[in-house]
Amino acid sequence: MEHSSSLTYKKNGSGRQLQMHPDVRSNTPNYRQIFEGQSDEEVWQAYRAGRDDAFSYIYDTYFDSLYYCGCQLCPDTHRVVDLLQDFFLELRLKKPKTDAVLCIKAYLLKSFRRKVIKFLKKDQWLIFNKEVTEGSFTISFHHEMQFMKTQFHEQQQKHIEKMLNQLTPREREAIYYFYFENLSYNNVSAVMGLSSAKAARNLIYKGLSILRKNRHQFPQWLQYCLMLATI
Amino acid sequence: MATNYQSYTLLDFITDEHFKSWVLNPDAEQNQFWHDWLAEHPDKVLVVSQAKEFILSVHFHPPKQTSHPSQELRSVKASVYEKVIRDAQTNPSRPEPVKLFSTRFSTLKIAASVLLLCTLAFLVYQYQHQEAEVPEPHQLAYSAKTTQRGEKLSFALPDGSVVKLNAESELRFASSFESQRTVYLKGEAYFEVERDTLKPFKVVTDQLTTEVLGTSFNVKFSPQDSSVQVAVTSGKVGVSAGRHQEQHYLVPTELLRYEQGVFSKSHFDEELLIGWKDGIIAFENADLDEITQRLSNWYDVDFEIKGQTRVIRKFTGKFKNRNLRHVLEGIGYSSNFTSTIQKNKVIIYVQ
């Protein structure tokens, strides 16, 4: 499928991060071994205590997530890189007041998202530029594991993709954090500034219920479903 | 994981936090659970595999212009890291500026408040001061055109706008319209303004400012009673009694009167009100007072009236490019008077 170009974000099993750059690794050879098994809370405590290796570990682990998220919000990737540099420099220089962070990824996504949106608001033309909001969080729907038998044939995949992209940007953004970043509802709501985990769930559930409404559009597997249900 | 998965639909599975977590990030414990659960519920195998595939199939397209494919992103990541570390060292840990502010009522806070108040006061002062300055600018070089009684003048302004100045009027304006297009009027003038949306054209008359982008309109300011009339023949005109006052908008055929602080709006007869610019002198139900006043202004003459003015009928009619003798004959015929002209003096004999 044409979507699986090099630009499409890959999901690599559990950790969807890219491999770290050898340069980064050689500077601080141990941090990955040290912090790999630790909980986010412990890593955060180490970082707050001023440990450089904890900072490097956080940088290495979450850079890609923040970069991808920033690119969804702001189409100017060079600007995103500038913002990231600022963001990490601030993180390095002054420790945030929050001392107990249960999910570093959600915490960083939340603060970086705020930073990007603040920047976009300052550059007002970006907000009024239609392509920005229309283009952000565009979903493509396809199965990458070729060897596995797919449940959705190509026609259905295209249809689902079309339906998903008709959702509001907010719904797509929530779907992004939930599926692509594997955040919990609680963290999705924290990142997007929603009132509760329930609000985040409702947002995603409501968005995805278009799949149910359009059941007649994929009759083949529905038939299987009904058959199996009756048995 | 005591959830009742048996009643779950495809949508329920897809949106279930634990299920999604297992699909994206499986661990041994969850693998075991789902393996066992599916063995117990073979009817759910299909829907679970669909849900699983759905979750794994959702991808996000980066915006079109993304210039960092994964290979390149790694080097970006490394170079940004180096910059961050380097900048952090040249800028060694700022001594926690946060603390200064967190102390309640610290001197800094008070200083900031005082500074803020001072700034505000200064801004307010400047704001008001600016407003007062507008009608009396001194810095620029000004030209003025004036007309005497019986005189009319037509000329172009630095921006190409055309002005027709009626009798006994004065228009002052900057010799250059580079920064703004503002003119100061006493009396009456008709403007045909060149369009420039970046620099509005402003006519300042005593208390009123008439503002346009590119239109034709007439402004009449009578210093005696400081009343102003603004009449529009094309385009849109905004009139306000001060910079922060409400603007009154006028469209063609509309007339705005401003008298003793009160605005009133009506429609107007073009020939009657601004016919003067085309050499038309028009009257509607004009009594002798108005007639003599208009004619003396137009032809630069004084009037002397002999007889009972009350018996004179009001006059309605117009003259285009006519001499005074012709006009007096016309009005006299209709209003029942005769007249003689002696140099700059007209004597009216009421019969």
CB-based contact (8 Å) between B29 and chain A?
Answer: no
Angstrom distances, CA of residue B259 to CA of A175, B202, B207: 64, 20, 10
Show the CA angle centred on residue A12, arms to residues A10 and A14, nearest 5°: 130
Q: How far B48 CA lies from chain A's nearest CA (Å)?
A: 11
β-pairing, B201-205 with B208-212? antiparallel
Computed over every residue of chain A, the mean pLDDT equals 76
Find, in chain B, the residue whose alpha carbon is nearest to that of A68.
Answer: B62
Which residues touch A149 (CB under 8 Å, ≥6 apart)?
none
The closest alpha carbon to B317, from B333, B305, B302, belongs to B333
In this prediction, does ipTM exceed 0.95? Answer: no
A20-52 per-position pLDDT tens digit: 444 444 444 578 888 888 889 889 988 988 888
The three-state secondary structure class of B282 is strand
pLDDT by 10s per residue, chain B, length 351? 557 888 898 899 999 999 999 998 888 888 899 999 999 998 888 889 888 888 888 888 765 555 566 677 888 888 899 888 888 887 665 444 444 444 455 677 777 788 888 888 888 777 766 554 444 444 457 788 888 888 888 888 888 888 999 988 999 888 888 778 889 898 999 998 888 777 788 898 877 888 887 788 999 888 777 788 899 888 888 888 765 667 788 888 889 888 887 888 888 888 888 888 888 888 888 888 888 888 888 888 898 888 877 777 888 888 888 888 888 888 888 888 888 888 888 998 887
- Can you spell out the DSSP letters for B38-66? HHH-GGGHHHHHHHHHHHHHEEEEPPTT-
Mark residue B158 as left, alpha or beta (left: phi above 0; alpha: psi -120 to 50; beta: remaining): alpha
User: Cβ distance A187 to A152 under 8 Å?
Assistant: no
Strands (E), chain A: 138-141
Find, in chain B, the residue whose alpha carbon is nearest to that of A20.
Answer: B74
The residue whose two tokens read 């967190």 is B102
- pLDDT bucket at A17, cuts 50 / 70 / 90: very low
Which amino acid, B92?
A: P
The three-state secondary structure class of B279 is coil
Query: Which of B 299-328 lie inside 8 A of A, CB atoms?
Result: none
Helix/strand/coil percentages in chain B, nearest 5: 40, 30, 30
The closest alpha carbon to B12, from B41, B42, B55, B75, belongs to B55
Residue B162: enclosing H or E segment and its boundaries?
Answer: strand B162-165
Residue B24 corresponds to which tokens in the numbers above? 């994206």
Q: How far A11 CA lies from chain B's nearest CA (Å)?
A: 8
The closest alpha carbon to B162, from B124, B200, B131, B201, belongs to B201
